[in-house]
């Protein structure tokens, strides 16, 4: 199988093949495959790091196969993002968009897996996920890296790799979630917009508490721009603890549908990258690796899976929960 073959270009493990009918999905799979295949030539990577990268490789492959099936069935239509965001060429009368907003300090493969799983979900009707770092000051995170740097780390991982499925959008300078969504709405005047907000289950309680005020602002902005807005929430599972039904009902009462991903993506948060040196959390594009080689060569890292196993060994046994 060659790197340019329509069957995925190395995204799948040796011995596995998968034919992608969608040129967009096939191209994304080839690009990801080349990224992971290129790691074999790097002498400073060890077995634990390859295992970490292989875990994400499998997650991405599974999601892309499901996305490809949705494209074939006409349930997902990749958008024309030429000249975007200066010009919008996709159908504003049926715009179906997911927006993923967070600190992303830094953006990493857990976030990418979350975006792809959302697009692959049977409950999702979105055609694209726009990823936007928050740029507003947050007193709870006084040491947060500046917005421009975080956006560049995001861009260097997914720009030109997952587009037009998962797209970095430079919309968060000086903005919190309320302002980012308001700016996104202002980009779609006169549209019929189905907008899905991706959040983690750990953020849902806060989001539900703030949602009445947020919806008031967003619906006012939609009315000002002649937008027919249908707003929903997709929750990525971040722990084994179930989302309380009462919390979901409080959101439904506001006229907002909620879908919860039942699968837990078993990786740590971005704080593990910053505080524990878990470099294998970041998508290893050539642009990213060129900036990390010094750390790799001098062993200034710890594979996240080894850390997690050690942590689980120390943790006392307790009940597990499923949604």
Structure tokens at 89: 């060429």
Q: Is residue 111 part of a domain?
A: yes
- DSSP label of 43: T
Q: pTM of the predicted model, to two decimals?
A: 0.87
Q: What is the CA radius of gyration of the chain?
A: 20
Among 38, 186, 166, 31, smallest CA distance to 104 is for 166
| CATH number reported for the structural domain that contains residue 289 in this entry | 3.40.50.620
pLDDT for 14 equals 44
pLDDT for 15 equals 41
Residue ranges making up the domain that contains 286:
23-314
Q: Which residues contact 58 (CB under 8 A, 6 or more apart)?
A: 13
Q: Which residues contact 242 (CB under 8 A, 6 or more apart)?
A: 321, 322, 323
Does a cis peptide bond (omega within 30 degrees of 0) precede residue 164?
yes
Q: How many domains does the chain have?
A: 1
pLDDT for 271 equals 72
**9: alpha, beta or left, given left = phi > 0 and alpha = psi -120 to 50?**
left
CB-CB contact of 198 with 99 (8 Å): yes
Q: Which residue has the tokens 């899976």?
A: 305
CB-CB contact of 29 with 11 (8 Å): yes
**211: alpha, beta or left, given left = phi > 0 and alpha = psi -120 to 50?**
alpha
Q: Is residue 6 part of a domain?
A: no
CB-CB contact of 97 with 127 (8 Å): yes
Taking only the tens of pLDDT, the chain with its 323 residues reads 233 333 334 565 544 446 899 999 999 999 999 999 999 998 888 888 899 999 999 999 999 999 999 999 999 999 999 999 999 999 999 999 999 999 999 999 999 999 999 999 999 999 999 999 999 987 777 778 999 999 999 999 999 999 999 999 999 999 999 999 999 999 999 999 999 999 999 899 999 999 999 999 999 999 999 999 999 999 998 888 888 888 989 999 999 999 999 888 877 677 766 666 677 889 999 999 888 777 777 766 667 776 666 666 655 544 433 33
pLDDT for 10 equals 52
Q: Is residue 3 part of a domain?
A: no
pLDDT for 299 equals 66
Among 134, 143, 222, smallest CA distance to 185 is for 222
Q: Is residue 158 part of a domain?
A: yes
Among 202, 194, 198, 321, smallest CA distance to 262 is for 321
Structure tokens at 35: 């990224």
Q: Is residue 16 part of a domain?
A: no
Among 167, 187, 183, 163, smallest CA distance to 175 is for 183
Q: Which residues contact 46 (CB under 8 A, 6 or more apart)?
A: 303
CB-CB contact of 12 with 61 (8 Å): yes
The residues pairing with 121 across neighbouring beta strands, listed in sequence order, are none
Among 150, 123, 122, 129, smallest CA distance to 81 is for 129
pLDDT for 242 equals 84
Q: Is residue 79 part of a domain?
A: yes
Of the chain, the end-to-end C-alpha distance in Å amounts to 40
CB-CB contact of 71 with 24 (8 Å): yes
> Environment class of residue 108 by beta-carbon count within 10 Å: exposed (0-12), middle (13-18) or buried (19+)?
buried
pLDDT for 167 equals 98
Q: Is residue 224 part of a domain?
A: yes
């Amino acid at each position: 199988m060659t790197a340019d073959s329509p069957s995925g270009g190395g995204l799948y493990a040796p011995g596995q093949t998968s034919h992608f009918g969608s040129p967009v999905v096939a191209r994304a799979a080839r690009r990801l495959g080349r990224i992971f295949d290129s790691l074999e030539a790097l002498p400073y990577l060890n077995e634990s790091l390859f295992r970490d990268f292989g875990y994400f490789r499998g997650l991405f492959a599974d999601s892309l196969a499901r996305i490809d099936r949705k494209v074939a069935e006409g349930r997902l239509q990749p958008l024309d993002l030429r000249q975007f965001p200066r010009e919008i060429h996709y159908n504003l009368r049926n715009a179906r968009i997911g927006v993923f907003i967070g600190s992303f300090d830094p953006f990493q493969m857990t976030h990418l897996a979350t975006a792809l799983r959302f697009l692959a979900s049977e409950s999702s009707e979105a055609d694209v996920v726009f990823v936007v770092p928050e740029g507003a000051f947050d007193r709870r995170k006084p040491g947060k890296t500046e917005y421009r740097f975080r956006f560049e780390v995001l861009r260097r991982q997914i720009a030109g790799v997952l587009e037009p499925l998962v797209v970095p959008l430079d919309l968060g300078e000086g903005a919190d979630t309320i302002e980012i969504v308001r700016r996104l709405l202002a980009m779609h005047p006169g549209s019929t917009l189905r907008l899905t907000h991706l959040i983690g289950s750990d953020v849902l309680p806060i989001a539900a508490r703030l949602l009445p005020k947020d919806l008031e602002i967003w619906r006012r902005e939609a009315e000002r721009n002649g937008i027919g807005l249908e707003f929903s929430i997709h929750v990525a599972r971040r722990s084994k603890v179930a989302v309380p039904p009462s919390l979901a009902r409080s959101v439904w009462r506001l006229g907002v549908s909620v879908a919860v991903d039942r699968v837990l993506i078993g990786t740590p948060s971005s704080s593990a990258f910053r505080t524990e040196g878990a470099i294998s959390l970041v998508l290893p594009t050539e642009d990213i690796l060129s900036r990390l080689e010094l750390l790799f060569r001098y062993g200034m890292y710890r594979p996240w899976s080894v850390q997690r196993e050690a942590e689980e060994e120390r943790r006392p046994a307790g009940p597990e929960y499923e949604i």
